[in-house]
Structure 1
Amino acid sequence: MQSEEVILVEDYCQKYTIDQTFVLSLADYGLIELVLVEERQCIPFHQLPTVEKFSNLHYDLNINLDGLDVISHLLQRIEAMQEEIRQLKSELATLQ
């Protein structure tokens, strides 16, 4: 397995002044994935935009973890429907 670039949760939280328990709670809710590197929790770089999005929603708009979970689920459904629409448009275009 190829190693991916990561940042320690504690370093990320210190740099962006957010609570470590918030990031760990995001992982507990299944909203992000953390990896263990030498028995320390790390955030893979590809997860950083997601962590930032949830941090902004939580800290700027006071949305709790349950709300973030609902928002994440709704965004996934929207993306799936948009993909389905793209596929249907493509199929329709080939029929014309």
Structure 2
Amino acid sequence: MQPEDVILVEEYCLNYAIEETFVFSLEEYGLVELVVANDRKWIPLHQLQVIEKFSHFYYELDINVDGIDAISHLLRKVETMQEEIRLLKSRLNVYEGRP
């Protein structure tokens, strides 16, 4: 773990005016992954976009963490189905003689 690959949870929450308990709740639900080093929790940079999206749901749309978990699950299902549709369309195009 390189220091430029992570940000301390306390710093992130202070800079973006969100509660640390919210970030820890997201981790408990398995919605984000945090890294523990030196007895402190760190956010990998690749998780920042996810936390920003979920904090928007929580603070601006007033959706609780249970709701965020349900939304996240449904979004993953939609993405999986969209990928399956793309695959099926490409296979269908082969049988119809399309490029």
TM-score bin, normalised by smaller chain = over 0.9
- 1:28-82 residue CA offsets vs partner (Å, 9 max, x unmatched): 0111110112221011111111000000000001100110010000000000000
Amino acid at match of 1:13: C
Distance in 2, matches of 1:91 and 1:54, equals: 36
Give matches, 1:4-19, under 5 Å. Answer: 5-19=5-19
Q: Greater Rg, structure 1 or structure 2?
A: 2
Runs (4+) of structure 1 moved beyond 6 Å? Answer: none
User: Which runs of 5 or more structure 2 residues have no equivalent in the other structure?
Assistant: none
Alpha-carbon separation, structure 2, partners of 1:77 and 1:31: 15
For residues 66 and 29 of structure 1, the distance between their equivalents in structure 2, rounded to whole angstroms, comes to 8
Q: Which residue of 2 aligns with 1:61?
A: 61
Number of residue pairs the alignment of both structures matches:
94
Distance in 2, Cα, partners of 1:92 & 1:7: 46
Amino acid at match of 1:16: Y
| Identity fraction in percent | 56
Does structure 1 residue 42 correspond to structure 2 residue 42? yes
